[in-house]
């Protein structure tokens, strides 16, 4: 690993990765490789956790291809110097900000969207002109091996290289000096990565998790609300970092909401037996999730097929913050429902807890919308939808506080792998005498007129 990192540093220092033509060619190669290997990508992820072709296309490959297209179309503008107005003290001079790639980067990915969450940061690293060592999750053996094969066979290891492995390999990587670390994963491991980065003063992007709330107001279009909620919650069997974690529904509409929720789950044919459910990634997580289901609070579902790692969409009611399911990020197809009468109370309860990665609000009221959006801090989210903010390539995606540091997608991704140099560019003449001593009365008066 050390040798590859050194080779990447040498390669980066040779300036090969900096010209736009090089970066564009690499982005186009990646685009073609992913397109040409779609069937293999499908087969591998299906083996890992039964992800269906439609979900793979929508939530993995589309997002990466969209990121690639946006980067290819906009790279020239992103990479161009940004003019900044100068001031009277420095007249005549030109000021500008110049983007430069940070250097050798490390990208660490999670298992839940193994392609998207490993490849989208690679797109950003390539666009910025960095080299990258990539460490996908060890839990999705087939998808991660395929990423390694596709990247390592199509790119020089001096430029991009995938390393496979788990905690020991990641720990060894984190001991090395990188110029940028881009981590996607859990909050506890995010803290480990941040500490390791601090030893080398390496800048980080941390894309973490947390419990993302849904608030459903009395005035929402309840049928559509439920349809969008069920889609977002049970997509990938709830194993989505921005999945709705729990619901706060206004008490006056709770009964109707629960009735619609049950009907919608049935309509979508989410059943243990019919092959429509994405599997839970491993036995440990299946058992962990099964233990979060309090049988006394099950309103719908609750069945678990441990052998096949399947869990039926499960609704829990009469839930309180003391329940086990409310003590950790669920990351599975279990939806706890709590009720409220007063929005202020909901806001207070969310604000008392770690800042969520996402928040979803369903309402027709502008006033409610403004209140929630301006008073609650969270990474990003939707009004009257779930999840879909991540699908807009031009919207920065990231967390805040416990849910992460920094953001990416589109230009934000480019920025996260770049340093912005500030340049003051001056001609040799003229050179006004004012700043040089001796400081005469006239000079002091001139300075006073500038200050006052
Ligand atoms: P994880 O933190 O367990 O693992 C992520 C990566 O870190 C893996 O590559 C793993 O090999 C490595 N790793 C694990 N333990 C480590 C250790 N002790 N030292 C060094 N490296 C270690 O996360 P996960 O289970 O793969 O993913 C689920 C979590 O990721 C959830 O919390 C979810 O919310 C979060 N997530 C966040 C985003 C986002 O974009 N913000 C996206 C997906 C997942």
Model pLDDT for residues 375-398, shown as the tens digit of each residue = 999 999 999 999 999 988 889 999
Q: What is the pLDDT of residue 88?
A: 87
Tokens 């609300």 -> residue: 225
CA 336 remoteness from chain centre: 24
In a domain, 443, yes or no: no
Q: What is the pLDDT of residue 89?
A: 87
**For the chain, what is the radius of gyration of the CA atoms?**
25
Same domain, 19 and 129: yes
In a domain, 438, yes or no: no
Same domain, 264 and 356: yes
Same domain, 327 and 351: yes
Among the atoms of ligand 1, which is closest to the Cα of residue 379?
41
Q: Which of 110, 133, 357 to mutate to test the pocket of ligand 1 (most atoms within 8 A of CB)?
A: 110
Which residue range is the domain that position 372 belongs to?
Answer: 213-398
Model pLDDT for residues 27-62, shown as the tens digit of each residue = 999 999 999 999 999 999 999 999 989 999 999 999
Same domain, 394 and 406: no
Q: Is the CB–ligand 1 distance for residue 331 below 6 Å?
A: yes
Same domain, 128 and 76: yes
In a domain, 447, yes or no: no
CA of 68 to the centre of ligand 1 (A): 24
User: What's the pTM value of the predicted model, to 2 decimals?
Assistant: 0.95
CA of 187 to the centre of ligand 1 (A): 8
In a domain, 451, yes or no: no
Q: What is the pLDDT of residue 274?
A: 84
Ligand 1 atom 34, closest CA: 209
Backbone angles phi, psi at 189, to 5 degrees: -70, -30
Of 244, 313, 239, residue with least CA distance to 272: 313
Model pLDDT for residues 400-410, shown as the tens digit of each residue = 999 999 999 99
Q: What is the pLDDT of residue 52?
A: 87
Per-chain mean pLDDT for the chain = 96
Query: Which CATH number characterizes residue 267's domain?
Result: 3.40.309.10
In a domain, 133, yes or no: yes
Model pLDDT for residues 118-153, shown as the tens digit of each residue = 999 999 999 999 999 999 999 999 999 999 999 999
Same domain, 248 and 373: yes
Q: Is the CB–ligand 1 distance for residue 171 below 6 Å?
A: yes
The band of 275, judged by pLDDT with boundaries at 50, 70 and 90, is confident
Q: Which of 186, 239, 329, 396 to mutate to test the pocket of ligand 1 (most atoms within 8 A of CB)?
A: 186
The band of 13, judged by pLDDT with boundaries at 50, 70 and 90, is very high
Burial of 3: CB neighbours in 10 Å, binned 0-12, 13-18, 19+: exposed
Model pLDDT for residues 168-226, shown as the tens digit of each residue = 999 999 999 999 999 999 999 999 999 999 999 999 999 999 999 999 999 999 999 99
Same domain, 12 and 71: yes
* 207 assigned to active site: yes
Catalytic, out of 130, 241, 329, 411 = 241
CA of 108 to the centre of ligand 1 (A): 8
In a domain, 28, yes or no: yes
Query: Which CATH number characterizes residue 24's domain?
Result: 3.40.605.10
138-to-35, 108, 135 alpha-carbon distances in Å? 24, 11, 9
User: Burial code of 425-440, b = ≥16 C-beta within 10 A, e = fewer?
Assistant: eeeeeeeeeeeeeeee
In a domain, 408, yes or no: yes
Same domain, 391 and 406: no
Of 146, 158, 84, residue with least CA distance to 109: 146
* pLDDT of 359 strictly over 90: yes
Same domain, 249 and 299: yes
Q: Is the CB–ligand 1 distance for residue 207 below 6 Å?
A: yes
Cβ atoms of residues 350 and 359 within 8 Å: yes
Give DSSP secondary structure letters for 47-102: HHH---HHHHIIIIIHHHHHHHHHHHHHHHHHHS-EEE---GGG-S-EEEEEEEE-
In a domain, 416, yes or no: yes
Domain count, the chain: 2
Q: What is the pLDDT of residue 273?
A: 86
Same domain, 174 and 307: no
Same domain, 225 and 348: yes
Same domain, 180 and 217: no
Q: Is the CB–ligand 1 distance for residue 205 below 6 Å?
A: no
* 264 assigned to active site: no
């Amino acid at each position: 690993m050390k040798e590859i990192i050194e080779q990447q540093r040498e390669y980066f220092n040779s300036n090969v990765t900096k010209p736009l033509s090089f970066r564009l060619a690499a982005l186009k190669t990646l685009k073609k490789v992913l397109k040409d290997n779609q069937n293999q990508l499908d087969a591998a992820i299906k083996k890992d956790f039964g992800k269906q072709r439609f979900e793979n296309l929508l939530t993995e490959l589309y997002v990466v291809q969209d990121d690639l297209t946006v980067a290819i179309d906009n790279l020239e503008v992103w990479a161009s110097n940004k003019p900044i107005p100068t001031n009277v003290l420095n007249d005549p001079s030109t000021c500008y900000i110049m983007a430069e790639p940070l250097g050798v980067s490390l990208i660490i990915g999670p298992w839940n969207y193994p392609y998207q969450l490993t490849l989208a940061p690679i797109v950003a690293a390539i666009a910025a002109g960095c080299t990258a060592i990539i460490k996908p999750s060890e839990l999705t053996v087939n998808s991660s091996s395929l990423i390694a094969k596709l990247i390592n066979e199509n790119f020089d290891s001096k430029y991009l290289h995938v390393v496979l492995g788990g905690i020991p390999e990641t720990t060894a990587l984190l001991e090395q000096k990188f110029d940028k670390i881009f981590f996607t994963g859990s909050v506890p491991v995010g803290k480990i990565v941040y500490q390791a980065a601090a030893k080398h003063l390496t800048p980080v992007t941390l894309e973490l998790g947390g419990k993302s709330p849904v608030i459903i107001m009395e005035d929402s279009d309840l049928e559509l609300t439920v349809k969008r909620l069920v889609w977002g919650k049970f997509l990938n069997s709830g194993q989505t970092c921005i999945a709705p974690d729990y619901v706060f529904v206004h008490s006056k509409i709770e009964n109707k909401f629960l009735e619609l929720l049950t009907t919608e789950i049935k309509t979508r044919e989410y059943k243990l037996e019919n092959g429509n459910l994405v599997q839970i990634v491993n036995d440990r997580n299946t058992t962990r999730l099964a233990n979060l289901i309090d049988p006394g609070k099950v309103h719908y579902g609750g069945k678990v097929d441990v052998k096949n790692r399947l869990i039926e969409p499960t609704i829990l009611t009469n839930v309180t913050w003391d329940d086990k399911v409310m003590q950790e990020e669920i990351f599975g197809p279990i939806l706890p429902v709590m009720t409220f009468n007063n929005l202020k109370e909901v806001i207070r309860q969310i604000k008392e807890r770690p800042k969520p990665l996402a928040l979803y609000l369903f309402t027709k009221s502008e006033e409610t919308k403004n209140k929630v959006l301006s008073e609650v801090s969270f990474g990003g989210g939707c009004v009257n939808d779930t999840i879909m903010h991540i699908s807009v390539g031009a919207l920065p995606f990231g967390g805040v506080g416990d849910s992460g540091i920094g953001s990416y997608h589109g230009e934000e991704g480019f920025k996260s792998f770049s340093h912005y140099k500030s340049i003051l560019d001056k001609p040799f003449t003229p050179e006004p005498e004012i700043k040089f001593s001796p400081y005469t009365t006239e000079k002091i008066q001139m300075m006073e007129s500038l200050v006052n």
